[in-house]
Amino acid sequence: MLQSYEAIYEHGAMKWLGDKPPIKQAHVIVTILPEKEGRSVTSQTQHQPSPLIAGKGSIQGDIITPIIPAIDWNCLK
């Protein structure tokens, strides 16, 4: 199973931006993302949704008041 982890490669070392994979060794594929103008790769970034989906989403429920009763949750079966 493939897993995704976000990291920054800097001076020969990986700096994990979130959870660190629970492994000692792995085969990895690295994708180099271009730096955005006026911002370095190491700066904290806030992810923004695509403008193409703006206004198209809606909140169906939350952890306090879910949209369906817990008895119908697939993860509890």
CA-to-CA separations, 28 to 21, 23, 35, 50, in angstroms, rounded: 12, 12, 21, 28
What pLDDT shows up at residue 37? 59
Taking all residues of the chain, what is their mean pLDDT, rounded to a whole number? 77
- Greater confidence (42 vs 63) lies with 63
> Is the pTM above the cut of 0.85?
no
Backbone phi and psi for residue 70, each to the nearest 5 degrees, phi listed first: -60, -30
